[in-house]
Chains A and B, each alone.
Chain A
């Protein structure tokens, strides 16, 4: 199982935490934005990181999915193809959420498309010179843009569209798809947290976005998450001695 960090975009140390997670080798950074403004809050994370994948929370329902796709392709390019999106269904019912997420997914492919649904008609077919289809540009850097879903309508949307649902804390995976993302809150108690990540891994979760306990220092990312929790689920039967042994003194002159 891969472990990433969940950050609150509004927090003062959000970008520093993303950079620290990147440096510590965490697999991904989940950018939470409770105001639905990840279109701009993910940019600084892209600049501050080089290797970690970036999962941005995208609030659907208050903007055209084509516009949301355009923001994502820009952020994908700005991150060198490290972006994924977590579509948050918010207050939309299943039918509305399914249409918006389907249109978003369509707009993230390098393929001319046309969409007709109760909520959106793309292209509108009003301008005489407009074509029958459109294509969002630039295309994503990635072959296939990763799109996850969460929220009240997520389970049905995920099932209908065949995309991963980000499982809330403690929820059991219902399938064995190749990608089963989930979230978990760490306590800071090593025994409890080791048991937590081990259980999540055994349950079939493939990617776990953890949140640090309140007031945890940035050093918890290399010294706790990367040193103890990531190795614990990086193989079956990790010999904990390898993480618990003393680190040698600092290299002379380093």
Chain B
């Protein structure tokens, strides 16, 4: 199991006001620190026209993080593919891969906010068609240049299609483990039914809320800030559709219930508890985990202190851990 860290949304929020210049300056220092601690990857996230400056151009931000580091992988989790011109985004991604010696992972998603499509002069109803054109351009231009394409989706069908293309997937941090298991299985099945393209099963990456601590006070703080970080999704209008054994998680219709569900995914505690949680995650079919610890309001010093302890005490125990078949 390999470990990355995310998500860098690059916001300046009502709860944590600061200059956007400071946000990007911190990105440079934090990427370097992540690399020094031995993490494999840093993940960025994209939204548009939101009050907090949520990063609207993840490829430009990725270029900054890649330039500041030499071994760290940098990924987008996710770039909203239908919102951009397919061939241009493929050429930008290819350039990033070439100039970083293959350290760039392009996570792509459909997008779910109608106002973001409208603001770009687009109809959200066209998003599947535009995404298909985008994936074709990536296959033609970006993947041959060394870009690893990672798919974001919340449906078994979407994951099966990604598997059939031989591409990796990344699962949302708010997904309960039951949904993680279902989506990972759909991805694997899609890959197998398509004749195992590429010959090697593409990775299942999961964003997970994780915090290593023995302190009850820090535990309470982490859960409170995790909760606050998901209030953002009420503002953005995100939801998780009911699927299989997983109930619906709608941040607009029933905020308290959705928040409880998202915070309930958190793996928190001492070394043994966190290792057990990650073993369960691997048993659900996950290969690699991205720690969702860049939560709004959490002091950066505390985050990186925890990441240092995690890298020292937890990660080595799981180096040889494989996702369950």
A residues near B, CB below 8 A?
15, 35-37, 39-44, 46-48, 62-64, 66-67, 70-71, 73-75, 77-78, 80-81, 120-131, 134-139, 141
Which residue in chain B gives the minimum CB-CB distance to A127?
A: B114
Q: Is the CB of A123 within 8 A of B118?
A: yes
Which 5 residue pairs are nearest across A and B when measured between Cβ atoms?
Answer: A43-B63, A138-B53, A127-B114, A44-B67, A130-B118
Docked CA distance A63–B120 (Å): 11
Q: Is the CB of A40 within 8 A of B92?
A: yes
Docked CA distance A139–B53 (Å): 7
Q: Is the CB of B64 within 8 A of A43?
A: yes
* Among candidates A44, A47, A81, residue contacting B99 with C-beta atoms closer than 8 Å: A44
Q: Is the CB of A74 within 8 A of B121?
A: no
In the assembled complex, B274 has its CB within 8 A of some CB on chain A: no
Interface string of B93-105 (1 = CB under 8 A from A): 0011001000000
Across-interface contacts of A15 in B (CB, < 8 A): 67
Q: Is the CB of A127 within 8 A of B124?
A: yes
Q: Is the CB of A63 within 8 A of B88?
A: yes
Across-interface contacts of A124 in B (CB, < 8 A): 117-123
Q: Is the CB of B95 within 8 A of A67?
A: no
Across-interface contacts of B12 in A (CB, < 8 A): 138
Interface string of B49-79 (1 = CB under 8 A from A): 1111111110111111011100000000000
Q: Is the CB of B56 within 8 A of A73?
A: yes
In the assembled complex, B215 has its CB within 8 A of some CB on chain A: no
State the majority secondary structure of interface residues on B: helix
Q: Is the CB of B49 within 8 A of A62?
A: no
| Shortest beta-carbon distance from A91 to chain B in Å | 15
| Shortest beta-carbon distance from A126 to chain B in Å | 5
How many pairs, one residue from A and one from B, have CB atoms within 8 Å of each other in the complex? Answer: 152
| Shortest beta-carbon distance from B157 to chain A in Å | 24
Which residue in chain A gives the minimum CB-CB distance to B237?
A: A129
| Shortest beta-carbon distance from B164 to chain A in Å | 30
Docked CA distance A42–B57 (Å): 13
Q: Is the CB of B60 within 8 A of A130?
A: no
Docked CA distance A69–B245 (Å): 43
Within 8 A of A (CB), among B94-144: 95-96, 99, 114-115, 117-124
Across-interface contacts of A120 in B (CB, < 8 A): 121
Docked CA distance A131–B49 (Å): 11
Q: A64-B85, A67-B85, A141-B19 are in contact. List 5 more A-B contacts (CB 8 A).
A: A36-B88, A43-B63, A43-B66, A134-B115, A138-B12
Which residue in chain B gives the minimum CB-CB distance to A122?
A: B121
Docked CA distance A124–B123 (Å): 7
Q: Is the CB of A137 within 8 A of B115?
A: no
Q: Is the CB of B56 within 8 A of A123?
A: no
Q: Is the CB of B63 within 8 A of A40?
A: yes
Docked CA distance A63–B86 (Å): 10
| Shortest beta-carbon distance from A57 to chain B in Å | 14
Across-interface contacts of B119 in A (CB, < 8 A): 66, 122-124, 130, 134
Q: Is the CB of B85 within 8 A of A39?
A: no
| Shortest beta-carbon distance from B235 to chain A in Å | 13
Across-interface contacts of B52 in A (CB, < 8 A): 137
Of the stretches B21-29, B258-266, B288-296, B301-309, the one at the interface is B21-29
29 contacting pairs across A/B (C-beta < 8 A): A36-B88, A40-B63, A40-B99, A44-B64, A44-B99, A48-B67, A62-B88, A63-B84, A64-B120, A66-B120, A66-B121, A70-B57, A74-B57, A74-B60, A77-B10, A77-B53, A124-B119, A125-B118, A126-B124, A127-B118, A136-B49, A137-B53, A137-B54, A138-B53, A138-B56, A139-B20, A139-B53, A141-B19, A141-B20
Q: Is the CB of B118 within 8 A of A39?
A: no
Docked CA distance A37–B54 (Å): 22
Docked CA distance A63–B57 (Å): 13
Given A40-B95, A127-B124: A71 touches B57 (CB 8 Å cut-off): yes
Given A37-B95, A73-B56: A46 touches B88 (CB 8 Å cut-off): no
